[in-house]
């Protein structure tokens, strides 16, 4: 069982790294499924033969696929808070796609707590810095400030 963190202790972590997920494979099957779900079938994502002729040399994941993996990473990496009723994705600030995620690579999420403020007695606003790292690469796939609201019972 995972230890649950108290809200005050979490707020005290502002300015610190708070978690790193495991590596996750972004293969062609995952890219194709995402293309079908979003109806974004641009050749750079789904046609390996045509994509090979581009500057990327292969198919690449959709930027929004990479973004959507942040939730998966967070479930593994972020501290679990005690007495949570629910969490709400509030959006992003400064989301940038820095490097393409080529088919067949692994990525992971690296999180830092930039801001954590109790806006009401049972509502916590957080700004979490997220970097999606590409295994073996010096530049991340994306960087963003992820905003969330957590409500306590």
Residues near 62 by Cβ (< 8 Å), separated by ≥ 6?
A: 31, 34, 35, 38, 40, 45
pTM of the model: 0.94
Return the bridge partners of 69, or none. none
pLDDT of residue 108: 98
Inform me whether the pLDDT recorded for 134 exceeds 90: yes
Average pLDDT over residues 75-104: 97
Q: What angle do CA 18, 22, 23 make, to 5 degrees?
A: 130
Per-residue pLDDT of 40-79, as tens digits, reads: 999 999 999 999 999 999 999 999 999 999 999 999 999 9
Share of the chain above pLDDT 90, in %: 98
Return the bridge partners of 24, or none. 107
With CA atoms as reference, report the closest residue to 79 among 4, 20, 23, 14: 4
- DSSP three-state, residue 6: coil
**With bands split at pLDDT 50, 70 and 90, how would you rate the model's confidence at 1?**
very low
Rounded distance between C-alpha atoms, residue 149 and residue 118, angstroms: 10
Rounded distance between C-alpha atoms, residue 31 and residue 143, angstroms: 20
Neighbours of 72 (CB within 10 A): 15
Return the bridge partners of 93, or none. 145
| Contact status, residue 80 vs residue 5, Cβ threshold 8 Å | yes
Neighbours of 32 (CB within 10 A): 15
pLDDT of residue 2: 67
Domains annotated on the chain, with CATH: 7-26+61-152 (3.10.129.10)
Length of the chain: 153
| Contact status, residue 14 vs residue 114, Cβ threshold 8 Å | yes
Rounded distance between C-alpha atoms, residue 67 and residue 74, angstroms: 12
């Amino acid at each position: 069982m995972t230890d649950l963190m108290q809200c005050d202790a979490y707020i005290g972590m502002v300015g610190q790294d708070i978690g790193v997920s495991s590596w996750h494979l972004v293969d062609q099957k995952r890219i194709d499924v995402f293309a079908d779900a979003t109806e974004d079938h641009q050749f750079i994502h789904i046609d390996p033969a045509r994509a090979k002729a581009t500057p990327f040399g292969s198919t690449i994941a959709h930027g929004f696929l990479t973004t959507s993996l942040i939730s998966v990473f967070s479930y593994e990496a972020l501290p679990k808070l005690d007495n949570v009723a629910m969490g709400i994705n509030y959006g992003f600030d400064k989301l940038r796609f820095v490097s393409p995620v080529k088919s067949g690579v692994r990525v992971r999420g690296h999180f830092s707590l930039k801001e954590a403020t109790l806006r009401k007695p049972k509502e916590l606003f957080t700004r979490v810095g997220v970097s999606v790292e590409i295994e073996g690469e010096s530049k991340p796939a994306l960087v963003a400030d992820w905003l969330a609201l957590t409500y306590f019972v």
